[in-house]
Amino acid sequence: MAIKIGRNDPCWCGSGKKYKVCHEAFDAKIKRYAMVGHQVPNHSMIKTPEQIEGIRAAAKVNVAVLDYVAANIKAGCSTQDIDDWVSSKTAELGGIPAQLNYEGFPKTVCTSINEVICHGIPNKDEILKDGDIINVDCTTIVNGYYADSSRMFMIGDVSPEKRKLVEVTKECVELGLKEVKPWSFLGNMANAVNKHATENGFSVVREIGGHGCGVDFHEDPWVGYYGKPNTQMLLVPGMIFTIEPMVNMGSAKINNNAEDGWRIVTADGKPSAQWEIQVLVTETGNEVISW
Ligand code: MF3
Ligand code: CO
Ligand code: CO
């Protein structure tokens, strides 16, 4: 807490109340965690009620866009079709796609099939076929606020091994989510995710993680899926971040030497799955904002 704020000054959270009756005790509590060596959030990681409302509005569009994809995706579609749906649905609902032109990304949505871990670029010549698994990752801006989530889709008749990968990865997110509550730590979430994946014979990608999200696309903290309980960053009410583990059927090793500069694949060519949710830490636990 670097900013010096008078006890009678308005609180940094934007409530309009005096600091001493608003977040003073809260800041003191966080400081006690920092003093015994924990990583703690700064004020920019703690969203105000107004920001949370804005992020919820963006999520409403993001979820509707993914619902539209869910209702239409099938064998024979191209990944460009998915990109077209996301573009038109997002615009229709008053949103702006955050991924288009983000650091030079050329499309609106990421479509990552089978051994593609993430950042697959939609292409009219890439046709979904029976037995494929695909992640569709969508990020929407509404009134300057960001919502980011992704889902897996199983196309037609998927092998039992791939189905298990998709289902276990979803369970990893659900088990991680249970650990998201105030005054817990990101390490508790990370450990729950990693444990469930490895107990099922899978591995979790280490180099790519989740992130704070809402006022900007990728905010601090970085959110990994490896670590011990009661380590990593302290969680406090008002934080919003993504849980988005990439779980591999084989080794956790990645290959990020794609010619297009984006697509990340498994080093061993085996399938990978990912689900992404955006979650708010509340006073009593958590609220899933986008899924
Ligand atoms: N939506 C992705 C995430 O979950 C980021 C994709 S960046 C892009 O963080 F440029 F590839 F679109
Ligand atoms: Co995403
Ligand atoms: Co994300």
Between the CA of 241 and the centroid of ligand 3 the distance, in Å, is 8
Between the CA of 283 and the centroid of ligand 1 the distance, in Å, is 29
Percentages of the chain per state (helix, strand, coil), in multiples of 5 = 30, 25, 45
Q: Which ligand has an atom closest to residue 151 CA? A: 2
Q: Give the model's pLDDT for residue 283.
A: 96
Chain-centre distance for alpha carbon 244: 5
Q: Which ligand has an atom closest to residue 105 CA? A: 1
Q: Give the model's pLDDT for residue 70.
A: 98
Write the pLDDT tens digit of every residue in 166-203: 999 999 999 999 999 999 999 999 999 999 999 999 99
pLDDT bracket for residue 3 (50, 70, 90): low
Write the pLDDT tens digit of every residue in 236-281: 999 999 999 999 999 999 999 999 999 999 999 999 999 999 999 9
Q: Give the model's pLDDT for residue 2.
A: 55
Mean per-residue pLDDT of the chain: 97
Interatomic CA distance for residues 72 and 281, integer angstroms: 33
For strands 133-142 and 110-113, give the pairing.
Answer: antiparallel
Per the CB < 8 A criterion, the answer to whether 161 and 249 are in contact is yes
Q: Is 112 helix (H, G, I), strand (E, B) or coil?
A: strand
